[in-house]
Chains A and B, each alone.
Chain A
Amino acid sequence: MENVILRGEDIHKSFGQKEVLKGITIDIRKSELLVIMGPSGCGKSVLIKNLIGLMKPDRGRIFFENEEVTNYTEKEWFKVRPKLGMLFQGGALFDYMTVFENVAFPLERRGERFNAIKEKVHWILKKLGLEGTENLMPNELSGGMRRRVALARTLVANPLLTFLDEPTTGLDPVTTANIDKLILFLKKEFDTTFAVITHDVKSAFRIADRIVLLFGGNIVFDGTVDEMKRSDNPYVRQFVEGKAEGPMKIEV
């Protein structure tokens, strides 16, 4: 237990009649990179929003650093949140701020000095191939650039535990590989713990210490990359090989 940063226990979440999470138990261990996979709409984003207090689970418990946070008020969560980071699937860039202001925002909020902020922002923008975009507004960027700016805003703050909701979806394979490299660099350099949602099996195999596969509101696989590669779990085989036939029935 002591090397678990965040634990979700028997998490249930429904929207109206629709049961999205049917009792998920998940641990995120210190310094690991956990990849969460699963078909679109299976509840990956909902799961991590429950884990960081953006949504309240209908049932279940959440522990952060061995302290139960399930019934924390928003104000209590504010004490935990500086240790957390999150890249939203849609980016969630502030559309009235420039790229620079967006990326500088989390640093500014915790009272860093302007020169230090400037240095960090330029460093991360360069790492993500975004030099020269500092003064552009989010609506002047391409979709892929916006996603990278959002990623920059999440990574620049370098929180203890970082959630990335589809950081590379829709990006070309070279950019994806570069982002994977950056994530691994940050993990090694700063001992950051990551929980990354992705559909990209190749990318997952490259970065993951552990992979969980979500389907139908449950975790259907939990193991290392090697275990996943060797697994004969039919869900795993179908997902990894990208087949339409198999136990995952998805209405199109």
Chain B
Amino acid sequence: MWDFFTLRWEYKEFWRNLIRVGVESWLVVLITGTFAGMVLVVQTGHEFQKVGASGYIGGVVALALARELAPVLTAMVIAGRIGSAFTAEIGSMKITEQVDALRVMAVDPESYLAVPRTLALMFMLPILTFYSFTAGLIGGAFVAVKSLGLELVTYTESIKRLLMQKDIILSLVKGAVFGILIGVVSSYNGLETEGGAMGVGKRTTVSVVAAIISILVANYLLTLFSLVFY
């Protein structure tokens, strides 16, 4: 379905969707990131303190967030929030013949609708992932200081010691890959929509489930790959 050689650069649609993805998802990403960091500290904190490993709390939380939780949780949330909206929107354009209208005006629906949305997600998801990661660290710090009685410097020093640049890179790469996945799956399902408003509903559900499963599978593969690579 993708013919990258005939693609126009649809900068207008790209910007419109890029901004939209950011605006519509920053809050929910902030909330999920913060709580993920908080719960990680709650779960690891007491055990680590018991064995006298308080100095590892910050680092372990940072690694878990950077490598797995921030990219996966962010992608899940975006699949639910933005992927579903993309499918519903393109799907309703399909059933109201707006997609056919594009075709008659010699505009390729894939390069006009699917590609800019996919690129917008590919660029925005790493940013949101990093943002979620940061929120998680701050949430974790809050719990570590307030409820475990840890010194803030112990927490931050631990992060500095354990967290490597490659972990951040893996995080961002995962974000970009998940962005592409969500974009392709949601656009494809939108363009394949048939059968009225019910069809839109059905396709939207299928799209979100498919995106989440492909995110989980891709995440597993990327993690394996990263171990070989480093």
Contacts and interface: CB of A to CB of B under 8 A. Distances in A.
Contacts of A86: 101, 104
A109 B106 contact: yes
B165 interface: no
A149 to B, nearest CB: 12
Contacts of B108: 74, 78
A85 B104 CA distance: 7
A81 interface: yes
Contacts of A94: 93, 98, 101
Contacts of A85: 104
B96 A92 contact: yes
A86 B98 CA distance: 12
A11 interface: no
B103 A81 contact: yes
A92 B105 contact: no
B131 to A, nearest CB: 27
Contact of A82 (B3, B6, B100, B106): B106
A201 interface: no
A54 B104 contact: yes
Nearest to B92: A95
Nearest to B104: A86
Interface in A41-95: 49, 52, 54, 74-75, 77-78, 81-82, 84-86, 88-90, 92-95
A92 B102 CA distance: 9
A105 B100 contact: no
Contacts of A82: 106
A93 B96 CA distance: 9
B187 to A, nearest CB: 15
A238 to B, nearest CB: 30
B98 A54 contact: no
Contacts of B153: none
Given A90-B96, A92-B97, A94-B98, A84 B104 contact: yes
A87 B106 CA distance: 14
Nearest to B6: A75
A92 B92 CA distance: 11
A252 B97 CA distance: 26
Contacts of B93: 94-95
Contacts of A54: 100, 103-104
A144 interface: no
A106 interface: yes
Interface string B101-140: 1011111100000000000000000000000000000000
Interface residues of A, number: 23
B98 A106 contact: no
A92 B107 CA distance: 14
A54 to B, nearest CB: 5
A151 interface: no
Interface in B140-192: none
Nearest to A75: B6
B194 to A, nearest CB: 11
A54 B97 CA distance: 10
A157 interface: yes
A194 B100 CA distance: 19
Contact of B97 (A78, A81, A90, A109): A90
A92 B6 contact: no
A92 B106 contact: no
Contact of A109 (B100, B103, B107): B107
Contacts of B103: 54, 74, 77, 81
Contacts of A89: 97
A109 B105 contact: yes
Nearest to A165: B97
B104 A81 contact: yes
Given A75-B6, A90-B96, A157 B101 contact: no
Interface of A: 49, 52, 54, 74-75, 77-78, 81-82, 84-86, 88-90, 92-95, 105-106, 109, 157
Interface of B: 3, 6, 93, 96-98, 100-101, 103-108
Q: Which 9 pairs, one residue from A and one from B, show the smallest C-beta to C-beta distance?
A: A92-B101, A81-B106, A92-B97, A86-B104, A88-B97, A78-B106, A92-B98, A106-B105, A54-B100
5 contacts: A54-B104, A75-B6, A88-B97, A89-B97, A92-B101
Given A74-B103, A74-B108, A78-B108, 5 more contacts: A81-B104, A89-B97, A94-B98, A106-B105, A109-B106
